[in-house]
Amino acid sequence: MTQQIQWVNAISTRLSLEAAISEVTERISEQLSASADLGFLFISSAYASEYPRLVPLLLDKLPIKLLIGTGGGGIIGIDSDDQAQEIEGNPALSLTVAHLPNVKVQGFHVSADEIPDLDSSAQAWETLTGVSPQEEPDFILLADPFFSKVNDLLEGLDFAYPQGKKVGGLGSAMAMGMQTGLFYYDSEKTEETALLREGIIGIALSGDIKVDTIVAQGCRPVGPQYQITKSERNVLAEVATVQEDGVESPKPPLQALRELMTELSPEDQELAQHSLFLGIARDEFKLELQQGDFLVRNLLGVDPKVGAIAVGDKLRPGQRVQFHLRDGDTSAEDLEMLLQQYQQQEISSSSPVGALLFSCLGRGKELYGKPNFDSELFRKYLSQIPVGGFFCNGEIGPVGNQTFLHGYTSSFAIFKPVHSN
């Protein structure tokens, strides 16, 4: 048996489910010369009525030891010409399969009512997943779009597995009022149902594999940085401008925003009318904050009487924040910058073997005006790396040393052996 990781992907746009399965399994069988230890399956909602048949048909063509997947609003994969494809609005099926020697793969399915309280011990989270923290696992997570405790789960996993990466996405609701689909098959737990309608499924990877992450939020900071001087839960009540010699006198954030607007170019003023966000610094001790150091969150509303702004995350005094703008050009520049940084960091380490892309439904052609942008840019810097994935209703990925549920983001999981072959 080969001792090297093998990682392959195939995508099909055949209208028939049987034909799509046959195409991807045939192409993968041609490339894979060892056992299929792990599979990731992503399928568009065009096939929703046939979801119950999907996993049995697939496994009949290609036995896979452990398989997870979900339905998506768009599907990402590699076509027969080795080109990255992002299929939006049309039927598509993407299958990624890996042979993973010296890697432990553990799967789990969790419902919302099984999530422990956030004051529970690390042991409660180990019991939930069945995965030991001593194994230092990385996680791939797929949830139904209505799973109400995603943030609690991520916070708990960060607490119990602080060294591990957590990456993934929320599936898309089906057309015509149908439920979403989660696909989970474990050959060692044959009692598990292949098609699930709710909850979150995941895999934990440990041993001779490492998951790197790139989380592209697609924003650029504008204006000065501020320090929060007064806040309550998610309401920003008062900020002070950060300067080299300290901070200015506090002011309402709405006043700070009005002052910023006068300094922006006409183009950015127009952009700020519909694409303005707040970035929250994740590293309290980093002196020089740059693009990518902020967790980007939506602005939910303002109180003009007191000048407060409601934000889509919890805030606390002392945090540094900065307003951000997002558009197609900014998103492209942001992802390219992150890919360049990653490429430079990886020169002396083992080479990646595969990747998954969890991209927001608001990206793709709607954002860039052309197809396949994120996946093609990824392969420009990491050529020949098989990439599969889907367009999500929310993307999971780390910023700093914490994991978050994002919007308008592309979150990449990049897989590589710990030890070079």
Q: What is the pLDDT of residues 375-417, one digit of tens each?
A: 999 999 998 899 999 999 999 999 988 999 999 999 999 999 9
Of 38-42, 201-205, 240-244, 258-262, which gets the smallest average pLDDT? 240-244
pLDDT of residue 197: 85
What's the whole-number mean pLDDT along residues 316-331? 93
Average pLDDT of the chain?
92
Distance of CA 379 to the CA centre of its chain: 18
Strand order in the sheet with 38-44: 6-12, 93-99, 38-44, 66-72, 182-186, 195-196
pLDDT at 232 over 80: yes
Amino acid at 416: K
Contact indicator for 156, 146 with CB cutoff of 8 Å: no
pLDDT at 420 over 80: no
| Model confidence band, residue 291 (pLDDT cutoffs 50, 70, 90) | confident
Give the whole-angstrom CA distance, residue 53 versus residue 39.
17
Q: Is 328 exposed, middle or buried (0-12, 13-18, 19+ CB in 10 A)?
A: middle
Give per-residue pLDDT as tens, 264-278: 999 999 999 999 999
pLDDT of residue 173: 63
pLDDT of residue 175: 47
Give per-residue pLDDT as tens, 333-366: 999 999 998 988 866 567 899 999 999 999 999 8
| Model confidence band, residue 419 (pLDDT cutoffs 50, 70, 90) | confident
Pairing relation of β-strands 66-72 and 38-44? Answer: parallel
Give the whole-angstrom CA distance, residue 381 versus residue 150.
32
| Model confidence band, residue 287 (pLDDT cutoffs 50, 70, 90) | confident
pLDDT of residue 75: 97
- Cα torsion 184, 38, 202, 192: sign: positive
User: Can you tell me which residue has the tokens 């290609």?
Assistant: 62
Give the whole-angstrom CA distance, residue 231 versus residue 170.
30
**Phi and psi of 125, rounded to 5°?**
-75, -35
Give per-residue pLDDT as tens, 21-38: 999 999 999 999 999 999
Give per-residue pLDDT as tens, 46-69: 898 899 999 999 999 999 999 999
What's the whole-number mean pLDDT along residues 308-312? 96
pLDDT of residue 62: 97
Q: Is the pTM of this model over 0.75?
A: yes
To the nearest 5 percent, what fractions of the chain are helix, strand and coil? 25, 40, 35
pLDDT of residue 180: 76
Q: Give the up-direction half-sphere exposure of residue 391: CA atoms within 13 A in the CB hemisphere.
A: 26
Q: Is 130 exposed, middle or buried (0-12, 13-18, 19+ CB in 10 A)?
A: exposed
What's the whole-number mean pLDDT along residues 175-179? 52
* 152: its two tokens: 């609690």
pLDDT of residue 3: 78
pLDDT at 2 over 70: no
**Residues above pLDDT 90, as percent of the chain:** 81
Give per-residue pLDDT as tens, 137-172: 999 999 999 898 999 999 999 999 999 999 999 998
pLDDT of residue 1: 44
pLDDT at 176 over 60: no
Strand ranges inside 20-128, DSSP E: 38-44, 66-72, 74-78, 84-88, 93-99, 103-110
User: Can you tell me which residue has the tokens 């929310």?
Assistant: 394
pLDDT of residue 179: 64
pLDDT of residue 192: 58
pLDDT of residue 193: 65
Strand ranges inside 304-375, DSSP E: 308-311, 320-326, 354-360
pLDDT of residue 384: 87
Give per-residue pLDDT as tens, 324-334: 999 999 999 99
Three-state secondary structure of 165-199: CEEEEECCCCHHHCCCCEEEEECCCCCCCCEECCC
pLDDT of residue 101: 96
Provide the residue ranges of all domains of the chain, joining segments of one domain with +.
6-217+331-416, 223-263+276-325
pLDDT of residue 121: 93
Amino acid at 69: G
